[in-house]
Amino acid sequence: NNLENQLDELVRSFVQEKLETIMKEEMNQFFEENPELKNYKNGSYGRQLDTKYGRIQDLQVPRDRENSFQTQVFQPYQRYEQWLGETIITMYQKGMSTREIGNFLERILGHAYAPGTISNITDVVMEDVRAWQERSLQKRYAVLYLDGTYLKLRRDDVANEVVYVVIGVTEDGFREILGFYVGGQESSLGWEEVLSDIY
C-alpha cells in the first residue's frame, strides 16, 4: 500500500546515503594506505542494489582513475545484498558502541584492510551515527507512523529480531525517519519504550 511504499522509500534513501558514506571513507583510507599510487579520485558510477526495502536504483560507488580501488562493501557483480541494509539500520539504532560499530564494519568490509584502517573508518562512521542520533527533531509532527519489521540480523548468529521504525510527518507534509530501534519480538511494551525515547 501507499504507506508501506513511502516507508520503504525513506529507508532505501537512508541506507543508500550511509553506504555511500562508508564507501567514500573506504576510498580515502585506500589512498592513505597506498601513497605510492600515482592515482586520483575519478568521481563515481551508479549501480543498482536490491534490498529488503526494494531496489536502490543509483547507488554512487566511488572510483579512481586507474581502477585500483575496489570497494569491499559488495562483490562487483552482486546485485542482492539484503543483509547490508539490515546492518546499516542496526548500526544507526540507539545505544550502539564504537566497538559494536567496528564489528559491523569488519563484517561489511571483510579482511581486506589492516585493523588500523577499519578503526579509522569506524571513527568516521561513529561520528556520523552520533550526528544522526543527536540531530534536532521538529517540536511537532502532525502524524507519526510506526512500523515493526522482522529482519534476520547477524550478530554472533543469525536471528529474527523486530526493527521498530518511526516516521514523522510535519504539518507541511515533510517525512523523515525519527529513529530505528532493534530488539527481540514486537510488543506493546517495546513500542511504549520507543515512543518514550522519542518524546
In a domain, 138, yes or no: no
Residue 94's domain comprises 2-133
Shared domain check, 62 and 18 = yes
Per-residue model confidence as pLDDT tens digits over 117-173: 999 999 999 999 989 888 888 778 898 888 877 766 655 555 677 778 888 999 988
In a domain, 76, yes or no: yes
Helix (H, G, I), strand (E, B) or coil at 11: helix
From 21-30, 60-69, 107-116, 181-190, the region with the lowest mean pLDDT: 181-190
- Most confident residue range from 29-38, 65-74, 144-153: 65-74
Predicted local confidence at residue 46, as pLDDT: 94
Pairwise CA distance, residues 172 & 167, whole Å = 14
Examine the fold and report which residue of 101, 133, 165 is the final residue of a domain before the chain moves on. 133
Q: 39 with 62: CB under 8 angstroms?
A: no
What sections of the chain are H helices per DSSP? 2-33, 82-91, 98-109, 115-133, 188-198
Is residue 32 domain-shared with residue 112, that is, in the same domain? yes
Q: Do residue 112 and residue 153 come from a single domain?
A: no
pLDDT for 89 beyond 70: yes
Distance of CA 107 to the CA centre of its chain: 13
| Residues 175 and 117 placed together within one structural domain of the fold | no
Same domain, 43 and 97: yes
Report which of residues 193 and 14 the model is more confident about: 14
Number of domains comprising the chain: 2
d(CA 193, CA 161): 16
Q: Does 149 share its domain with 125?
A: no
pTM as predicted = 0.82
Most confident of 34-43, 51-60, 103-112, 143-152: 51-60
51 and 116 in one domain?
yes
